[in-house]
Structure 1
Amino acid sequence: MKKITRIFFSPSGTTKKVADKIAGNFKFEKEICDLLHFNDAKEFTQEDIVIVAMPVFAGRIPKTARNRLSKITGDNTKAIAVVNYGNAHVTDALLELVDVLRENNFDVIAAASTVSHHSIFDGVAVGRPDNKDIEKINEFAQKCMEKIESGESLKSELPGNRPYVDYKQLPFIVSCDVNKCVFCYDCVTICPEKAVPDDDPADVDLDACTRCTACIHICQEDARSFTGEAFEAKKPAFESANSARKEVEYYL
């Protein structure tokens, strides 16, 4: 029986949910490769199928996720490329993901951009993916199965440009309310950048931090959040500018 592996980087959990929805349409043995924790070399064969799902960080796939994905190679392995974003802009992220996969000897058969509740600005894309999104995601999965049966590769032109936009470091502060923190160290364990010191989980190294939100979303006490003048000033303008609904798009 064929095997399908979900490879994802999902600090807030939304990108994993999209990958899970797509994989649920396949009646194959299923495995996962969570790039928040996985940083080793891995090889796939011609018998494998992979769903590679990445969040969009300011128009790019996250640098850490890209570096970890670069260690994963295929052997003309069928790949489905997905970027998940918070209703703002895909920019070059989908093109970049497909380029990385092709460089690593994956045969990309289809690609998609999906929408989820924004991980930083919580007033954007509330409730997404919703039923309409899931219907479109399932439709995309069915099209992917047809592409696998036909043996065809991705033919559609993708949005984006080369060279890709530069990586951006957001100026927002990630802070911890010490009155709520119970020092469970979940934030220390999950941080892919090792930006939360294990001797003081209430702190964060803002130079190392990529604002991925993993530490915020894993905190059971709601002790961690974005704060500061830059965040408070940006929030209303960003939410207003990105209030118009964007739809799931797929490319075959």
Structure 2
Amino acid sequence: MSIVEIFFSPSGTSQKVADRMANNFSQEKEICNLLIFKSEKELKSDDIAVVVMPVFAGRIPKAARERLSKIKGNDTPAIAVVNYGNAHVTDSLLELVDLLKENNFNVIAAASTISHHSIFDGVAIGRPDDSDFEKIDGFAKDCIEKLESNESLKSEIPGNRPYVDYKQLPFEISCDETLCAFCYDCVSICPEMAIPEDDPIETDLEICSRCTACISICPEDARRFSGDAFEAKKPAFEEANAERKEPDFYL
């Protein structure tokens, strides 16, 4: 029996939530990082899956969905969590629960948690914080108790079917060539293969999902969001989402 942490975490915050959840369990831990894991996998019936996905404009990311679809359960208990930047969950948690059920997981609980926004860095600074982690620990303990009863998720999950359409954000991603060390970490981590192998300065914005993996991994802080659309949106978005939201838990 293992706790299997499954996460897609371009900016690292969803992994923090997954780690915190999994650390409440005593079983041996297995990591499945969907940024680099693309293979098929089947979990056993006595494993426990902790699945944490970020929210991209109200949905779980396309690349994350495609990779998670290759992981199957055997009536395996699963805890579904979406992690968002203090803006909107929309249909993402419902989508994640639906996908896990389709893949033969027994979803026993679900949650939405809050982290520092990956694009607009003035929103939810420092989160998840101590208060968030305390609530995540409490939720994990509730999940452990529920596992003993072998009950499935009973709460109704907010959201709509069909899910909101995917959106392609108009923001540009630029790379400062004077800072770039040409380490090619951004090339290897990009889930969309939007950065040419022979030129890490460039980004194909037609296929880029704006996931921020390349920005987060850059050791020289050479990559960033830029352009008129981003600069115009940033202050309004940060003002509209300044009020602190709290995690929601469903059992």
Partners of 1:143 and 1:30 lie apart in 2 by 19
Aligned to 2:127: 128
Aligned to 1:212: 211
Deviations 1:60-95 (A, max 9, x none): 000110011111110100000000000000000000
Deviations 1:107-145 (A, max 9, x none): 000000000000000000001111111110000000110
Tell me whether 1:16 sits opposite 2:31 in the alignment. no
Q: State the superposition RMSD in angstroms.
A: 0.5
- State the TM-score, normalized to the length of structure 2: 0.99
How far does residue 45 in structure 1 lie from its aligned partner after superposition?
1.3
Partners of 2:72 and 2:124 lie apart in 1 by 34
Tell me whether 1:233 sits opposite 2:236 in the alignment. no
Aligned to 1:55: 54
SS for the counterpart of 1:225 is strand
The gaps in structure 1 that reach 5 residues or longer are: none
1:169 partner letter: Q
Superposed counterparts of 1:88-107, under 5 Å = 88-107=87-106
Partners of 1:176 and 1:147 lie apart in 2 by 48
Superposed counterparts of 1:158-173, under 5 Å = 158-173=157-172
SS for the counterpart of 1:140 is helix
Tell me whether 1:117 sits opposite 2:116 in the alignment. yes
SS for the counterpart of 1:204 is coil
How far does residue 54 in structure 1 lie from its aligned partner after superposition?
0.1
Deviations 1:6-62 (A, max 9, x none): 000000000000000000000000011111111111101111110010000000000
1:14 partner letter: T
Partners of 2:93 and 2:53 lie apart in 1 by 9
Partners of 2:51 and 2:114 lie apart in 1 by 16
Aligned to 1:78: 77
SS for the counterpart of 1:193 is coil
Partners of 2:150 and 2:46 lie apart in 1 by 13
How far does residue 224 in structure 1 lie from its aligned partner after superposition?
0.1
Sequence identity (%): 71
SS for the counterpart of 1:209 is coil
How far does residue 146 in structure 1 lie from its aligned partner after superposition?
0.6
Aligned to 1:34: 33
Deviations 1:129-171 (A, max 9, x none): 1111111000000011011111111000011111100000000
SS for the counterpart of 1:167 is coil
Partners of 1:36 and 1:3 lie apart in 2 by 21
- State the TM-score, normalized to the length of structure 1: 0.99
Partners of 2:234 and 2:58 lie apart in 1 by 18
2:190 partner letter: C
SS for the counterpart of 1:138 is helix
Partners of 1:47 and 1:151 lie apart in 2 by 11
Provide the aligned length of Structure 1 versus Structure 2.
251
Partners of 2:142 and 2:228 lie apart in 1 by 46
Aligned to 1:44: 43
Deviations 1:194-238 (A, max 9, x none): 101110001111111000000000011110000000000000000
Partners of 2:43 and 2:181 lie apart in 1 by 41
Aligned to 1:176: 175
